[in-house]
Amino acid sequence: TIKKVGMFMENKIEAIILFAKQKLAADKTGHNMDHLTRVANMSQKLSSHYHVNEFITISAAYLHDVIDDKLVSDPKEALADINNFLIQLEIDKNTINQIIEIITHMSYSSTLEHDYPLSLEGQIVQDADWLDAIGAVGIMRAIYFGGHHGITIYDPTINPRTNMTKKDIRDFSRETVINHFYEKLLLIKDKLNTKEAKKIAAHRQEIMLQFLNDFKSEWDAQS
């Protein structure tokens, strides 16, 4: 994954991976290490098309969920932890600030509150994270998340919500797994930043639409 950033930085990335592993060890909501690995691999793939600092994209990819308030009780403390950890690794202040800026502003819910102009590195990691929420993996993660949180699979009497706010996203009482596709997952392709990510999203969109179509026709005993 990390040959392009060079041997010296490679050791730092190994250390960051271990740090993230420890922080996410207990998570069962789909934010496990394999999500971080996929986001890092996709960040690297997208990075190869642009002139970016690959150490920053890969580091931010591995750290982006470590401050998620669904995972840690105190995101501020988690952020301070990350900061101290990166200082210990002797990463320069400017690089640390760029990584922290990305992980504090890239989440889907934060973009519903305000538009924050991310660096190209940040746009790439955001795209990689959002790509992991769509397609076959996205379908699997939505169902896995829904099961963990006791969300109903489907209820044709509950309409998908529109113009979702950050607060709505956390309100599972009005959620179904199928509605989550209409409320968020199908909207992702038009919110992606980079052309390369949009290309990848096109096929994943088809997979989700096909799935929803078949799901509903089976539900209605039509097929």
Sites of contact with ligand ADP (CB under 6 A): 30-31, 65, 70, 107-108, 129, 133, 138, 141-142, 145-146, 151, 172, 175, 177, 180, 185
Q: Which of 54, 121, 127, 129 binds Ni ion (CB under 5 A)?
A: 129
CB of 216 to Ni ion, least distance (A): 28
Query: Residue 177 or 197: which CB sits closer to ligand ADP?
Result: 177
CB of 39 to Ni ion, least distance (A): 6
54 binds, among Ni ion, ligand ADP, none (CB under 5 to 8 A by kind): none
Residue found by looking up tokens 């990335």 in the block = 13
CB of 144 to ligand ADP, least distance (A): 7
123 binds, among Ni ion, ligand ADP, none (CB under 5 to 8 A by kind): none
Query: Residue 70 or 89: which CB sits closer to ligand ADP?
Result: 70
141 binds, among ligand ADP, Ni ion, none (CB under 5 to 8 A by kind): ligand ADP
Which parts of this chain interact with Ni ion (CB under 5 A)?
65, 129
